[in-house]
Structure 1
Amino acid sequence: MAGGKLSPRQKMINLMYLVFIAMLAMNMSKEVLSAFGLMNEKLTEANVKATEKNKGAYETLKQKALEQAKQYGEAKEKTDKLKVAADELYAYIGDLKSQMTGGVKDPQAYETMDKSKFLDELFFKGGKITPAGKEFVSKIDGFRTEAVSLLEGTEVADVIKTRFSTEKVTNKDGRKVDWLKYHYEGFPLIASLTKFTQIQADIKATESDALSALLQGELQSAVSMTKYEAMVVFDKSAYYPGENLSGKIVLGKKDPNLTAEKVIVNGEEIDKEKIQAGQVILDGPAGNVGDKELQGEFQFKEGDSIVKIDIKGAYAVIPRPNEALVAADKMNVVYRGLSNPMTISIPGVPGNKISAKAPGLRRVKGDKYVMNPGKGSEVNIVVTGTPTGASKGIRSVKKFRIKDIPPAVGMVRGQYGTVKMPKASLGRISVAAGLPDFLFDLKLNVSSFKIKVPGQVAIPVNGTILNARAKAAITKARRNDVITIFDIKASVSGSNYRIKRVLPVSVEITN
């Protein structure tokens, strides 16, 4: 079309042909943009459903852990840590999405979201990645590392490594390209928005995979007798010469209908009357001074075969008390900002002849103490006392870890996570904070927070009730919008201790 002498008519035909191709390209571009927008909608809906499904799974695991702490406690601890990391990354990406669409008048006019300016300016500058871009990649890397660490040894760990990989990518020309540039530089707004939603979907999928892997693994362990473990539980950890040995040998799962066909301990068969409800009553002499072992087996009938479960245990017979016994009443650590109850005693020494000293430690009554730890990560408790009739006293030093109160969760109507309610009710909410899984029953006071309505800037609020500006912003929210309440500031009631971090709470508008 460009060579040789052309007639005016041919030139006109060629020009019309070029215009026609351009029009086709424009239409195709709009169709592609719309396709991204529809995909983003589907992913968003799927994320809402995944959140609810995961919430149910978390509750199931929580209940299992309450019922059988030894069997499900570790799985719950891992998923709790994973949920904190997942919520943080999900909220971070959600905030980026809100910033991206902040200037969009109609969030469903996907054909207009064809510019790449927002992320090009936020993540890239002068051909280099900006601090904001590096932070984005760092957030993903941090979540991947935390999730893989928690799920090490499972198939899910390998999936996560691939799912959240930020390694360089080979482009169509065969060159290695930075992951961030390959995925986000020069792309239309709606394409990047959809990719962000896909990352959120991957986060929810990772939570679901982890819950399934950990919970299912424990359930499978519980269905067969071959997976049970025998535990030796003594009434106390040490015995004096001449004392009778007292305690029980029990299975990890207690069942009133569970009885063994036969139990053998140290080569002798236990009397039938001492085999009760999945446990064996121990009653006999402890023996001479020294370390002792118990070995034997449970024998259960399963089908037509006999399943044997090994018994292994150990205890010590000691001549006299030789050190103090210090135990936290509620936990194996002490928490900064709280009055931690403790019991301090020395076997064979009256409580009024025992002295315990440490920064922040005070006696309440008898062997009951309260510890209010200060700065640092550890505290030493020095205990001294003299047993009755002894000429030499006992001095013992016990080290305890000092930890901060764990992150709290934002709450609305006593619920956390994502709370659904009508738009008309939202203006009357009161924002609170709580520690649902913490051992101490603490009341937290909220002093301020921020609220983010989709398409609008975040609004700071003092106190617990929405101010006029926040209520005005809520009136512009639409059905299915998810409003985020974050940056919640809270302190322990009756104390000056401020909670270091409070996780956000979201409200989904139902109508």
Structure 2
Amino acid sequence: MAGGKETPRQKMIGMMYLVLTAMLALNVSKDILRAFVAIEENIQKANLVQVDRGDGFIKDVRSELATSKGDENKAKREKLEAVLKQMDAIDKETATIIKFIDDLKLEILNVAGEQTKTTKDQDPLTIVWQKGDGIRPMRLNLDAVSAQDKYDEPMLVLGINEDLKNPKGKGAELWKRYNDYRAKIVELTGTYKLGENSFVVKTTPINEFKDNKDLQKKVEKMIDGNKQANLKEDRPALIDLYAMMTKPERVDIKDVKGLHWVGATFDHSPLVAGIASLSSMQQDILSARALALNTWKSRVTTGEYSFNKIAPLAYGQPIANTGDSVYLQVMMAAFDSDNQPTVVITEGAEGASVKYPGNGQGVVGFKVGGGAEQIVKGTVAIKNKSGVEKKENWEYKVTIMKPSGAISLPELNVLYRSYDNKVEAVASGFDQTVLTGSVPLSKSGNLWIAKPTGSGKEATLTVSGKNTVTGKTQQLLTQKFRVSNLPDPELYWGAAKNGDKGQRTETKLFAKYGPEIPLNAQFRIVSWEVQIPGAQGAPPKGTGGVLDGTASNLIKQAKPGMQVSFICTVVGPDGIQRKRAGAFKV
């Protein structure tokens, strides 16, 4: 497994290989051997993907060369031909080492007594399905191998049967060829002449490092030491190429120190595992080849559209708040500085302006209106090399936030029991407000209704903001409230409040809050009793909120300045019966 940068697939295969190798110390079961066979098959398929990937880059350059005709494209043809020549040199080096590793696989199989002379594709009984072809490795069917668990043969062929620390023969040659290829492909990628510019890259061996971070640091220092290289444009590719091909020469396994990588990798490794390890090395080589070819392709214009500049581009969610996790999509955008796009707004932004800063973008400027969101639509068009315009629709949604502020009176944080307490909550900076609490809550228009019940004396309400673009909800504030019964209402005789002067002819009684209590609670008179000083007999009584004739006659007997007293039973929205008394002068 490579010590440097690896693809997720390579890391997965490497981890599986290490786990299975460790298990071999206990027992080489058929299930484990089958697992190695499956791993090898997956690696072979991945290797073919890398081959096709690299071939695609070469094909793009060849197609561009075929379409670049005429005197006006002479300079471009020369550049494309130079690129193809360098690509051919890379493939020549790659094919040599791929064949060497294929030959090692065949030698191991032959030493183990397996039949490798016959080639028959997709035959379950044949080992060699396809012979190698240039940079394309041969296809093997390890399921047909009878000596899957033999480990002496791989160790013998790779020269580690006597000394794991100092491989001999083919093992030593494998290590040297692999590292020579690493140096060669980096130099072939970074050493070139295009036009009047010449660049040179030389490498030095790096096979000892603590970890990937240390490796990255050493490789960067080595590449940066190439003062004649085109570090401005080639540096990342050169570093990645070298790092992805780098393996530690010496490793420590348990109590054994300083094992050579070849010895540690193939020590008592079953035949099928050894073959898989060699295929994994080929995958490193083919991945490096694809990266090198892609780097060369990027130095010339290919495809239907021309690009000669690149620029960073970042975009993401249109709303966010303090403490939010924001995820941006960051990419490198390619554009032609001589062929700017044409941006048109078709809907959603009247009076919008479009400016072209020359970086392959059209910048649309507009003011947001009211409402919760604004959707802007339009088209963007660009011409290909033949002058044919390509037009695509675009759309962007802006979530509109409403500015808000809040003032609270902490001492008046009260929720009244069994009453529809109106609650207004605002999650500033979010396009949706969510209210939760320890009391029943319901939504009513833009407000919430909190209606505590039971005997609890305290409740909490929590306001959260929800970003409907990301689906994330963030808790913003939790507030404690006292829970109390509704205040007792005042008794009114007509328009007169308790203690005021009443009218003898008034017959209606009311229980309600005065203006100092801004609650919209409705109370109902259940029963009443009326008294005047010195009246004989039992005081008149009745139900409802209207005095009867007996009560009215009694009140008319009262002398000016006397008090008329009422004792009423009232019921509010909470269902509690209250005794309320009132005295009025006449």
Same fold (TM over 0.5): no
Scaled to the shorter chain, the TM-score interval is 0.3 to 0.5
With structure 2 as the length reference, what TM-score do the two structures score? 0.32
With structure 1 as the length reference, what TM-score do the two structures score? 0.37
Whose Rg is larger?
2
